[in-house]
Amino acid sequence: MSDETLNTIKSKSLHDSWVKSFRGSEASQFYDLAFNYISGHLKNRSLQTVLDAGCGSASKTLRLASHGFKVTGCDFSEDALDMARKAVSDSPYPEIELQKEDLTAISFSDNAFDAVICWGVLMHIPDIHKAISELSRVVRPGGILVIGESNMHSLHSIVFRNLRSLLRPGFKQIYKTEGVETYITTPSGQLLVRQTDMNWLIGKMSDLNFTLSDRVAGQFTELYTSRFSTPLLNKFIHLFNNTWFKYIKSPKPSLGNILFFEKTK
Protein backbone atom coordinates (compact mmCIF):
# COMPACT_ATOMS: atom_id res chain seq x y z
CA MET A 1 0.00 0.00 0.00
CA SER A 2 1.46 3.35 -1.01
CA ASP A 3 1.95 6.05 1.59
CA GLU A 4 -0.62 8.20 -0.21
CA THR A 5 -3.26 5.46 -0.17
CA LEU A 6 -2.48 4.75 3.48
CA ASN A 7 -2.85 8.40 4.44
CA THR A 8 -6.11 8.65 2.50
CA ILE A 9 -7.66 5.76 4.43
CA LYS A 10 -6.55 7.30 7.71
CA SER A 11 -7.69 10.85 6.97
CA LYS A 12 -10.44 12.56 8.91
CA SER A 13 -11.70 14.30 5.78
CA LEU A 14 -12.38 10.95 4.08
CA HIS A 15 -14.33 9.65 7.06
CA ASP A 16 -16.24 12.93 7.28
CA SER A 17 -17.21 12.55 3.62
CA TRP A 18 -18.39 8.97 4.22
CA VAL A 19 -20.55 10.11 7.13
CA LYS A 20 -22.08 12.78 4.91
CA SER A 21 -22.70 10.39 1.99
CA PHE A 22 -23.77 7.23 3.79
CA ARG A 23 -25.04 8.18 7.25
CA GLY A 24 -27.81 10.67 6.47
CA SER A 25 -31.36 10.10 7.67
CA GLU A 26 -32.53 8.58 4.38
CA ALA A 27 -29.57 6.19 4.06
CA SER A 28 -30.00 5.29 7.73
CA GLN A 29 -33.34 3.67 6.95
CA PHE A 30 -31.56 1.09 4.82
CA TYR A 31 -28.88 0.44 7.46
CA ASP A 32 -31.60 -0.10 10.07
CA LEU A 33 -33.20 -2.72 7.81
CA ALA A 34 -29.89 -4.38 7.01
CA PHE A 35 -28.66 -4.58 10.58
CA ASN A 36 -32.02 -5.83 11.82
CA TYR A 37 -31.58 -8.65 9.32
CA ILE A 38 -27.96 -9.29 10.29
CA SER A 39 -28.80 -9.24 14.00
CA GLY A 40 -31.63 -11.72 13.48
CA HIS A 41 -29.24 -14.05 11.66
CA LEU A 42 -26.75 -13.90 14.55
CA LYS A 43 -29.40 -14.28 17.26
CA ASN A 44 -30.79 -17.40 15.57
CA ARG A 45 -27.39 -18.96 16.27
CA SER A 46 -27.17 -17.58 19.84
CA LEU A 47 -24.03 -15.58 19.02
CA GLN A 48 -23.09 -12.86 21.50
CA THR A 49 -19.61 -11.39 21.01
CA VAL A 50 -19.18 -9.38 17.80
CA LEU A 51 -16.23 -7.58 16.22
CA ASP A 52 -17.10 -4.64 13.95
CA ALA A 53 -13.97 -4.73 11.79
CA GLY A 54 -13.44 -1.32 10.24
CA CYS A 55 -15.97 0.41 12.46
CA GLY A 56 -15.37 3.94 11.18
CA SER A 57 -17.60 6.40 13.02
CA ALA A 58 -19.33 3.51 14.88
CA SER A 59 -22.76 3.75 13.27
CA LYS A 60 -22.77 -0.01 12.62
CA THR A 61 -21.24 -0.70 16.02
CA LEU A 62 -24.06 1.14 17.76
CA ARG A 63 -26.70 -0.68 15.75
CA LEU A 64 -25.22 -4.02 16.80
CA ALA A 65 -25.07 -2.94 20.44
CA SER A 66 -28.72 -1.87 20.29
CA HIS A 67 -29.59 -5.50 19.53
CA GLY A 68 -27.91 -6.67 22.72
CA PHE A 69 -24.58 -7.93 21.39
CA LYS A 70 -21.30 -7.41 23.21
CA VAL A 71 -19.51 -5.39 20.55
CA THR A 72 -15.90 -4.43 19.95
CA GLY A 73 -15.18 -1.92 17.21
CA CYS A 74 -11.79 -1.49 15.58
CA ASP A 75 -10.39 0.74 12.87
CA PHE A 76 -7.07 1.63 11.28
CA SER A 77 -7.72 5.38 11.44
CA GLU A 78 -7.19 7.24 14.71
CA ASP A 79 -9.41 10.05 13.41
CA ALA A 80 -12.20 7.56 12.73
CA LEU A 81 -11.77 6.13 16.22
CA ASP A 82 -12.06 9.63 17.70
CA MET A 83 -15.40 9.95 15.90
CA ALA A 84 -16.41 6.52 17.17
CA ARG A 85 -15.46 7.34 20.76
CA LYS A 86 -17.58 10.48 20.64
CA ALA A 87 -20.53 8.55 19.22
CA VAL A 88 -20.22 5.83 21.86
CA SER A 89 -19.89 8.33 24.72
CA ASP A 90 -23.09 10.03 23.54
CA SER A 91 -24.94 6.70 23.25
CA PRO A 92 -26.68 4.37 25.74
CA TYR A 93 -23.93 1.79 25.10
CA PRO A 94 -20.78 2.94 26.92
CA GLU A 95 -19.72 -0.70 27.31
CA ILE A 96 -18.68 -0.83 23.63
CA GLU A 97 -14.93 -1.38 23.34
CA LEU A 98 -12.93 0.44 20.67
CA GLN A 99 -9.34 -0.05 19.62
CA LYS A 100 -6.96 0.58 16.76
CA GLU A 101 -6.29 -2.40 14.48
CA ASP A 102 -4.75 -3.14 11.10
CA LEU A 103 -7.02 -5.75 9.50
CA THR A 104 -4.02 -7.38 7.84
CA ALA A 105 -2.43 -7.98 11.27
CA ILE A 106 -5.18 -8.22 13.90
CA SER A 107 -3.96 -8.42 17.50
CA PHE A 108 -6.86 -10.55 18.81
CA SER A 109 -6.28 -14.23 19.54
CA ASP A 110 -7.60 -17.07 17.39
CA ASN A 111 -11.34 -17.80 17.75
CA ALA A 112 -11.84 -14.63 19.82
CA PHE A 113 -15.35 -13.73 18.59
CA ASP A 114 -18.66 -15.43 17.92
CA ALA A 115 -19.13 -13.19 14.90
CA VAL A 116 -17.22 -10.64 12.84
CA ILE A 117 -18.84 -7.95 10.68
CA CYS A 118 -16.77 -6.31 7.94
CA TRP A 119 -18.91 -3.90 5.91
CA GLY A 120 -17.53 -1.86 3.02
CA VAL A 121 -13.93 -2.15 4.20
CA LEU A 122 -12.17 -4.89 2.23
CA MET A 123 -12.74 -2.92 -0.98
CA HIS A 124 -10.14 -0.38 0.20
CA ILE A 125 -7.48 -2.88 1.35
CA PRO A 126 -4.85 -3.85 -1.28
CA ASP A 127 -3.92 -7.14 0.41
CA ILE A 128 -7.44 -8.51 0.59
CA HIS A 129 -6.14 -12.08 0.99
CA LYS A 130 -4.31 -11.23 4.21
CA ALA A 131 -7.27 -9.26 5.57
CA ILE A 132 -9.72 -12.09 4.89
CA SER A 133 -7.35 -14.60 6.50
CA GLU A 134 -7.07 -12.46 9.62
CA LEU A 135 -10.82 -11.88 9.87
CA SER A 136 -11.38 -15.62 9.47
CA ARG A 137 -8.82 -16.44 12.14
CA VAL A 138 -10.59 -14.50 14.90
CA VAL A 139 -14.01 -16.14 14.32
CA ARG A 140 -14.64 -19.18 16.50
CA PRO A 141 -15.71 -22.50 14.97
CA GLY A 142 -19.46 -22.37 14.47
CA GLY A 143 -19.31 -18.58 14.35
CA ILE A 144 -20.24 -16.25 11.50
CA LEU A 145 -18.25 -13.84 9.35
CA VAL A 146 -20.50 -11.26 7.67
CA ILE A 147 -18.95 -9.46 4.70
CA GLY A 148 -20.59 -6.51 2.94
CA GLU A 149 -18.94 -5.63 -0.38
CA SER A 150 -19.70 -4.27 -3.85
CA ASN A 151 -20.58 -6.79 -6.55
CA MET A 152 -18.62 -6.44 -9.81
CA HIS A 153 -21.39 -8.22 -11.75
CA SER A 154 -24.19 -5.92 -10.56
CA LEU A 155 -26.22 -3.83 -12.98
CA HIS A 156 -24.77 -0.65 -11.42
CA SER A 157 -21.19 -1.89 -11.84
CA ILE A 158 -21.55 -3.08 -15.42
CA VAL A 159 -23.25 0.12 -16.59
CA PHE A 160 -20.72 2.43 -14.95
CA ARG A 161 -17.68 0.43 -16.08
CA ASN A 162 -18.89 0.68 -19.67
CA LEU A 163 -19.66 4.38 -19.32
CA ARG A 164 -16.17 5.03 -17.95
CA SER A 165 -14.62 3.13 -20.84
CA LEU A 166 -16.55 5.25 -23.33
CA LEU A 167 -16.30 8.65 -21.67
CA ARG A 168 -12.92 8.34 -19.92
CA PRO A 169 -10.78 6.00 -22.04
CA GLY A 170 -7.68 6.82 -19.98
CA PHE A 171 -9.31 5.82 -16.68
CA LYS A 172 -7.67 2.64 -15.40
CA GLN A 173 -9.92 -0.26 -14.45
CA ILE A 174 -7.72 -3.13 -13.33
CA TYR A 175 -9.23 -6.60 -13.73
CA LYS A 176 -7.96 -9.18 -11.25
CA THR A 177 -9.09 -12.55 -9.97
CA GLU A 178 -10.52 -10.83 -6.89
CA GLY A 179 -12.52 -8.23 -8.85
CA VAL A 180 -12.15 -4.89 -10.60
CA GLU A 181 -9.92 -2.27 -8.96
CA THR A 182 -9.82 1.46 -9.57
CA TYR A 183 -7.92 4.25 -7.87
CA ILE A 184 -10.10 7.32 -7.53
CA THR A 185 -8.99 10.82 -6.66
CA THR A 186 -10.69 12.25 -3.58
CA PRO A 187 -10.06 15.54 -1.74
CA SER A 188 -8.19 13.36 0.77
CA GLY A 189 -5.97 11.69 -1.85
CA GLN A 190 -5.92 8.51 -3.93
CA LEU A 191 -8.32 5.78 -2.76
CA LEU A 192 -8.48 2.15 -3.85
CA VAL A 193 -12.02 0.98 -4.62
CA ARG A 194 -12.57 -2.68 -5.51
CA GLN A 195 -15.74 -4.27 -6.81
CA THR A 196 -15.52 -7.92 -5.81
CA ASP A 197 -16.08 -11.07 -7.81
CA MET A 198 -18.45 -12.79 -5.39
CA ASN A 199 -17.73 -16.24 -6.81
CA TRP A 200 -14.05 -15.69 -6.04
CA LEU A 201 -14.91 -14.56 -2.50
CA ILE A 202 -17.11 -17.58 -1.84
CA GLY A 203 -14.34 -19.87 -3.10
CA LYS A 204 -11.73 -18.08 -0.99
CA MET A 205 -13.84 -18.50 2.12
CA SER A 206 -14.35 -22.19 1.35
CA ASP A 207 -10.57 -22.60 1.30
CA LEU A 208 -10.54 -21.12 4.82
CA ASN A 209 -13.14 -23.63 6.08
CA PHE A 210 -16.19 -21.37 5.83
CA THR A 211 -19.48 -22.25 4.16
CA LEU A 212 -21.89 -19.71 2.70
CA SER A 213 -25.02 -19.79 4.86
CA ASP A 214 -26.83 -16.78 3.36
CA ARG A 215 -26.36 -14.11 0.72
CA VAL A 216 -28.69 -11.16 0.23
CA ALA A 217 -28.68 -7.80 -1.49
CA GLY A 218 -27.24 -4.74 0.14
CA GLN A 219 -28.06 -1.40 -1.48
CA PHE A 220 -29.10 -1.97 -5.08
CA THR A 221 -27.27 1.20 -6.13
CA GLU A 222 -25.33 4.08 -4.59
CA LEU A 223 -26.34 6.59 -7.23
CA TYR A 224 -27.44 8.92 -4.44
CA THR A 225 -23.74 9.68 -3.83
CA SER A 226 -23.34 11.05 -7.37
CA ARG A 227 -22.67 14.75 -7.72
CA PHE A 228 -25.31 14.79 -10.46
CA SER A 229 -28.06 13.53 -8.19
CA THR A 230 -30.87 15.73 -6.86
CA PRO A 231 -32.82 15.62 -3.56
CA LEU A 232 -35.91 14.27 -5.32
CA LEU A 233 -33.92 11.63 -7.19
CA ASN A 234 -32.17 10.65 -3.96
CA LYS A 235 -35.52 10.02 -2.26
CA PHE A 236 -36.51 7.70 -5.09
CA ILE A 237 -33.15 5.86 -4.99
CA HIS A 238 -33.37 5.29 -1.23
CA LEU A 239 -36.98 4.12 -1.56
CA PHE A 240 -35.96 1.70 -4.32
CA ASN A 241 -33.00 0.38 -2.29
CA ASN A 242 -35.19 -0.17 0.77
CA THR A 243 -37.95 -1.84 -1.24
CA TRP A 244 -35.48 -4.14 -2.99
CA PHE A 245 -33.96 -5.18 0.33
CA LYS A 246 -37.28 -5.71 2.12
CA TYR A 247 -39.18 -7.59 -0.56
CA ILE A 248 -36.76 -8.99 -3.15
CA LYS A 249 -33.29 -9.33 -1.62
CA SER A 250 -31.82 -10.84 -4.80
CA PRO A 251 -28.06 -10.17 -4.60
CA LYS A 252 -26.91 -10.88 -8.16
CA PRO A 253 -28.15 -7.65 -9.83
CA SER A 254 -27.46 -5.58 -6.70
CA LEU A 255 -24.34 -3.47 -6.15
CA GLY A 256 -24.24 -4.20 -2.45
CA ASN A 257 -24.00 -7.82 -1.34
CA ILE A 258 -24.16 -9.14 2.22
CA LEU A 259 -22.64 -12.59 2.64
CA PHE A 260 -22.85 -14.78 5.75
CA PHE A 261 -20.12 -17.38 6.16
CA GLU A 262 -20.16 -20.03 8.89
CA LYS A 263 -16.83 -21.35 10.19
CA THR A 264 -16.88 -25.13 10.06
CA LYS A 265 -13.68 -25.83 11.99
pLDDT at 228: 79
pLDDT score, position 2: 57
Sign of CA dihedral 76, 79, 82, 84: negative
| Cβ atoms 241, 156 nearer than 8 A | no
Q: How many domains does the chain have?
A: 1
Mean pLDDT, 10 residues at a time, the chain of 265 residues: 74 86 84 98 98 98 98 97 98 98 98 99 96 99 99 98 87 95 91 98 99 99 89 95 98 99 97
Greatest alpha-carbon span in the chain: 51
CATH of the domain at 161: 3.40.50.150
Structure confidence at residue 232 (pLDDT): 95
Backbone angles phi, psi at 64, to 5 degrees: -65, -45
Q: What does the pLDDT read at residue 257?
A: 99
Q: Is 120 left (phi over 0), alpha (psi -120 to 50) or beta?
A: left
Domain with 86 in it: 3-263
Edge-to-edge strand ranges of the sheet holding 189-196: 174-176, 179-186, 189-196
User: Looking at residue 157, what is its pLDDT?
Assistant: 98
